[in-house]
Amino acid sequence: MEKIKIKVNGNEVEVSPGKTVLQVLKDMGIHVPVLCHYEPLMPQGSCRLCVVEDRGVLKTACTTPVEPNMDIKTDTPNVINSRKLVLQLLFSERNHYCMYCEVTGECELQDLGYEFGLDHFEFPTYERRFPVDNSHEFIMMDHNRCVLCRRCVRACSEVAGHFVLGEMERGIDTMIIADMDVPLGNSSCTSCGLCAQVCPTGAIIDKRSSYLGREVQSEIIYANCDMCPVGCGME
């Protein structure tokens, strides 16, 4: 198939038509942050973390196919600021207080927080409490940790072919549900565990692995007492 020419960060490259911008950037070794994207799931372009600039327009790299004359830029202030804003909004929605999370640092959202240097909540956090579904023998669903990437829903249907997980409501009220909104333990879940495997946060976890995240993840920081409930004032 005839290759097409595009520019990436000022360099002209020839790429195969049919690929997404993300695939091309990945082939070139250019890091692009992603959250909703997970191969081999179908890309859905919902988190907006992978945005790149093409001739002044922001586009999601994971869902945009390459086309002739694209002029992709991955590191402009517009791109970096947009990604950071998305991340700040995600952290302010639901409960993303990482220090109290069962996955203990084994979290893609937290990794992104480090990558973008987030050291405080930029926006007021959404205080509403969502339910925790502990009804399943092996899997716990904590909707407070969910970023609505829908990886679990897609993995359950596209990969496992089980069609157990789905979603209901809209916007901030969106909830991942099992079957017609029954507790996961009472649903037709086969305990394959794929949902926990693809979940980027602590929203769906294998109960037996909780608090077994990274062995060591510590560094000395100056306490930010706005966030800390203890109030010791120590380093």
Q: Does 103 bind ligand FES (CB under 6 A)?
A: no
E strand spans, the chain: 4-8, 11-15, 51-54, 57-60, 71-73, 132-133, 139-142, 165-168, 175-178, 204-206
Q: Which of 30, 45, 197, 209 binds ligand FES (CB under 6 A)?
A: 45
Residue number, 37 or 96, with CB nearest to ligand FES: 37
Specify the stretch interacting with ligand FES by CB under 6 A; choose among 35-43, 123-131, 210-218, 223-231. 35-43
Alpha helices (H) along the chain: 21-27, 77-92, 108-115, 151-154, 194-198
- The only residue of 24, 25, 35, 52 in contact with ligand FES, by rule CB under 6 A: 35
Find the shortest distance in angstroms from Cβ 83 to ligand FES.
Answer: 10
In angstroms, give the least distance from the CB of 62 to ligand FES: 3
Binding mask 165-194 toward ligand FES (x if CB under 6 A, else -) reads ------------------------------
Bridge partners (DSSP) listed for residue 11: 8
Query: What is the DSSP secondary structure assignment for residue 231, as one 8-state letter?
Result: -
Most distant CA pair in the chain, distance: 64
Binding mask 51-90 for ligand FES (x = CB under 6 A): ---------x-x----------------------------
Residues in the interface with ligand FES (CB under 6 A) total: 12
The CB-of-106 to ligand FES minimum distance in angstroms stands at 19
| Residue 34 makes contact with ligand FES by CB under 6 A | yes
Q: Amino acid letter at 153? A: V
Q: Is 18 exposed, middle or buried (0-12, 13-18, 19+ CB in 10 A)?
A: exposed
Q: Least distance in Å: CB of 171 to ligand FES?
A: 17
Nearest CA to 142 out of 112, 179, 181, 102 is that of 102
Residue number with CB closer to ligand FES (37 or 136): 37
DSSP reduced 3-state for 205: strand
Distances (CA, A) of 34 to 20, 47, 76, 83, 185: 14, 8, 17, 10, 30
For ligand FES, the closer of residues 111 and 179 by Cβ is 111
Residues that bind ligand FES (CB under 6 A): 34-37, 45-50, 60, 62
